[in-house]
Amino acid sequence: MSTPTISTHRPSLPDGAMVLPPTLQLQALLTIIRDEKTQRTSDRIIRLLVEEGLNHLPVVPKTVKTPVGADYEGVSFQGRICGVSIMRAGLRDCCRSATEQPPYLQILIQRDEETVQPKLFYAKLPDDISERYVLLLDPMLATGGSCMKAIEVLLSHGVKEERIIFLNLIAAPEGIHNVCSKFPKLRLITAWVDQGLDNHSYIIPGLGDFGDRYFL
């Protein structure tokens, strides 16, 4: 039996963007969720993304007392955190289980059928969001329209661009470059970069409509 090899799929990315290490575990999970017969098995990958996102938050030194009476010199997150999911994404419950510290809030963005542009329909954000670091969550990054609209909403509420970390399951190169070109100060983290977009702006090979499949 031949031994599987780890993919060397490492696309050229703009500054501020990164891809999770292409481990065999990640490739196996991606293979499962891409299968047309699969339903709701992406939680593990999303958890990996959230954990990586937390690695990019600033920390400050913190000393605590352990149960045996010794001091431990560790770190603590600098500032408060919140997660914002672009609704239709199906990420909220999973991310809440990944870490209990940040609250998870929602932005509803849908395409306007007349203008074919992303339109904000609903936003639930805390009053102090301008003082927080934000994990922005959306599973599929195609052209980047919905993501960029959500970032504009956050900026309009006073969030600093450099305090936004965009977490994404599968991305097209076009979407990555669009987002990073418009918002060069944010951090973009994706699990995988696919080949690109077809004539209908669908990600290829992709995995279909994430929201429909996740909630089946």
Catalytic residue among 3, 8, 115, 127: 115
Nearest to 77 by CA among 155, 154, 135: 135
- Find how far residue 164's CA is from the centre of its chain: 10
Q: What mean pLDDT is reported for the chain?
A: 83
For the chain, domain boundaries: 17-214
**Catalytic pick from 93, 112, 198, 209?**
209
- State pLDDT tens for residues 176-194: 999 999 999 999 999 999 9
Pick the closest to residue 159 from 99, 105, 87, 117 (CA basis): 105
Burial environment of residue 58 by CB neighbours within 10 A (0 to 12, 13 to 18, 19 or more): exposed
Secondary structure, 3-state, 13-40 = CCCCEEECCCCHHHHHHHHHHHCCCCCC
Instruction: Note the pTM of the prediction, 2 decimals.
Output: 0.81
Catalytic, 115? Answer: yes
* Catalytic residue (choose from 111, 112, 128, 198): 111
111 is catalytic: yes
Fold of 17-214: Rossmann fold (3.40.50)
48-61 tens-digit pLDDT: 899 999 999 999 99
- Which position among 35, 93, 112, 212 bears the catalytic label? 212
Q: Identify whether 209 is a catalytic site residue.
A: yes
Question: Mind listing the pLDDT tens digit for each residue in 88-126?
Answer: 544 444 444 444 445 567 787 776 656 657 777 778 788
Q: Of 186, 191, 178, 108, give the one whose Cα is nearest residue 144.
A: 178
